[in-house]
Amino acid sequence: MIVALVINESLLVIIGLIAGFLGSLSGLGGASIITPLLVFLGIEVKTAIANSILTIVATSAGSSVSLLRDHYTCIKAAMYLELFTILGGFIGASITLFVPSWFLYFFFSFFLLVSLFFRRKKELVKDARRVDKYTELLGIKGYYQERGIIVEYRGKNAHIAGPLMVVAGFAAGVLGIGAGAFKTAIMERILGLPIKVSTATSNFIIGMTGLAAATVYIKTGLVDPYIVGPLILGASLGSIIGSRLLRKISDKTASYLSMILTIYIILQMLVKGVQSL
């Protein structure tokens, strides 16, 4: 079943561009903005979710390139955590098809609220550096270079971080978003990775969760190339522009922008949820 659209491809490219731009500038990711924007334009929430999950694979791939080259991404941590996040993605995407729309609106708002909380509490991270045998076996460690200094890191608590990633994957699959803030928080607070490594690795994993969920959504017939193609095109360009501008604005401005956008999206989805009851 493909839903007939009243909006054309040019508008979808612009939506993707805005979402990609704001998503990379605010750290929310494109899909968190694409879904509410499509819903705002009158597209049914499940169709919006199904199409926007595919765009996160594109933005994840595009933005991972430079982070990989700079060795910020911990591939071993990513591979281990992807096992769990894929399972969550499959389950989440499958569940979306059976739950009513109002639930998705409220869950979307709730999840963004939780993510907002995680983002605001990043300073509570530090604790003891004891490495357990399981994490040692997985060899989750590495190093990167910052301002000429080599920063070494070593993971811990992999046995807790892994299963928690099922939750992150589930949320991503249900809502068609990357759930990056949640994934970053797990890697930083539980796995004990540095913030830059956590952010880069989360960005890398997002694409994998997106693919897992996308394979489920494609089978529903809700994914239309004429919706998702322009969105990917716009989001890819927007995220490139956004990430370039990000270097020029202060952390405070980016943080405020992120908070304002998140609160606006939460309110919009809550209103939609109430309307669809």
Interface with other proteins by CB under 8 A: which residues? 1-2, 4-5, 9, 54, 57-58, 61-62, 64-66, 68-69, 71, 73, 75-76, 79-80, 82-83, 86, 90-91, 93-95, 97-98, 137-139, 143, 145, 150, 207-208, 210-212, 214-216, 218-221, 223-226, 228-230, 232-233, 236
Of 13 and 181, CB closest to other proteins: 13
Q: Which is nearer to other proteins, 29 or 62 (CB)?
A: 62
Q: Which residues contact 184 (CB under 8 A, 6 or more apart)?
A: 118, 195, 198, 199, 202
Q: Which is nearer to other proteins, 94 or 255 (CB)?
A: 94
Q: Which is nearer to other proteins, 71 or 122 (CB)?
A: 71
> Which tokens in the block code for residue 156?
């811990």
How many whole angstroms separate alpha carbon 207 and alpha carbon 92?
15
Q: How far is CA 140 from CA 145, 146, 186, 187, 198, in A?
A: 17, 20, 14, 11, 12
Smallest distance from the beta carbon of 243 to other proteins, in angstroms?
Answer: 14
d(CA 199, CA 167): 18
Nearer to other proteins, 55 or 115 (CB): 55
CB of 169 to other proteins, least distance (A): 12
CB-nearer residue toward other proteins: 122 or 141? 141
CB of 26 to other proteins, least distance (A): 22
Q: Which is nearer to other proteins, 75 or 260 (CB)?
A: 75
CB of 86 to other proteins, least distance (A): 6
Q: How far is the CB of 251 from other proteins (least distance, A)?
A: 26
The pairing of strands 149-154 and 141-146 is antiparallel
How far is residue 83 from each of residues 78, 96, 200, 213, measured CA to CA in Å? 9, 21, 18, 13
What single string gives the DSSP state of each residue in 2-15? Answer: ----SS-HHHHHHH
Which one, 61 or 125, has the nearer CB to other proteins? 61
CA distance 13 to 264: 22
CA 234/CA 127 separation, integer angstroms: 41
- Cα dihedral angle (192, 195, 198, 204), rounded to 10 degrees? -170
The nearest distance, CB 97 to other proteins, in angstroms, is 7
8 Å CB contact between 261 and 33: yes
Q: How far apart are CA 226 and CA 34, in angstroms?
A: 15
**Least distance (Å) between residue 72 CB and other proteins:** 9
Q: Tell the smallest beta-carbon distance from residue 82 to other proteins (Å).
A: 6
Element (H, E) at 152: strand 149-154
Q: For residue 161, what are its two tokens?
A: 């971080």
